[in-house]
Structure 1
Amino acid sequence: MTVFRILLGIFTIAILLFTGLVIQNHGWNLFPVFFGDIAAMTWAGQFNFDFMCFLTLSGLWLAWRHRFSMVGIILGIMGFFGGIMFLAPYLLIMSFKSNGDMNELLLGDYRGD
């Protein structure tokens, strides 16, 4: 669990630094570039579409983990739009709340059904 938590910390710091540099160099113009690459049917677009599918799964998992409650839906939306910048800190926090129990971390603390 320690290695997993370190990895999540590295992901969080790295993506924050990388995102800061991209914003500094290119501004906040993410969506036109992201969807423009998809519309152009390029390899960059293929990667973006694949990534968007992963983001969708991430958001659905977060909402499911919280039984599609209002909090779960909000977390799911944050996971979809935030990507690893949201998911890594979320998992890090939940890893401590679950005392390192991977079943609880992945399924939530009340999954007995």
Structure 2
Amino acid sequence: MNSLKLLLVVLWCAIAVITAKAVSLQGMAAGDIFLSDIQALDWRAQFNVDFFAHLLLIGLWVAWRSCFSAAGIVLGMACVLGGGLVSLVYLLVAAIRCGGDVRRLLLGQRATNE
């Protein structure tokens, strides 16, 4: 579990640095760039749609693991909109809270309901 936590921190730092550089070079136009890349229907479009599918899945998983509570739905939406900057922190906090229990990490509130 410590290796997972370290990986989450390293990945978050890498994404934060790249995000800061992208914002400094291109501003906050990520949505416009993302959508225009998809409209091109090329490899960047394929990557963006694939990535968005993963974001939707992690957002749904976050909401599901909290039994679709209001907080879970908000966190799930934040994971979709914030990408790795949000979801990696969410996973790190969840990993710390589960105390090494992978079942609790994956199932969240559902681990105590079953």
Pair in the same fold by TM > 0.5: yes
TM-score (norm 2): 0.94
Deviation digits for residues 85-106 of structure 1 (CA, Å, limit 9, x no counterpart): 1111111111111101111011
Give the conservation status (yes or no) of the 8 Å contact 2:58–2:76: yes
Pair 110,60 (structure 1): closer, same or farther in 2 beyond 3 Å: closer
Which residue pairs with 1:81 in the alignment?
A: 81
5 Å matches for 1:1-113? 1-111=1-111, 112-113=113-114
In structure 2, C-alpha distance between the alignment counterparts of 1:93 and 1:36, rounded to whole Å: 34
RMSD: 1.0
* 1:110 to partner: Cα distance: 3.8
* 1:109 to partner: Cα distance: 3.9
Give the conservation status (yes or no) of the 8 Å contact 2:66–2:109: no
**What runs of 5+ residues in structure 1 fail to find an aligned partner?**
none
Deviation digits for residues 9-34 of structure 1 (CA, Å, limit 9, x no counterpart): 00111111110000001111111110
Pair 56,110 (structure 1): closer, same or farther in 2 beyond 3 Å: closer
In structure 2, C-alpha distance between the alignment counterparts of 1:55 and 1:98, rounded to whole Å: 23
- Runs (4+) of structure 1 exceeding 6 A deviation are none
Give the conservation status (yes or no) of the 8 Å contact 2:37–2:44: yes
In structure 1, C-alpha distance between the alignment counterparts of 2:48 and 2:66, rounded to whole Å: 27
TM-score (norm 1): 0.95
Number of aligned residues: 113
Q: Percent identity between the aligned chains? A: 37
Partner of 1:28, secondary structure, is coil
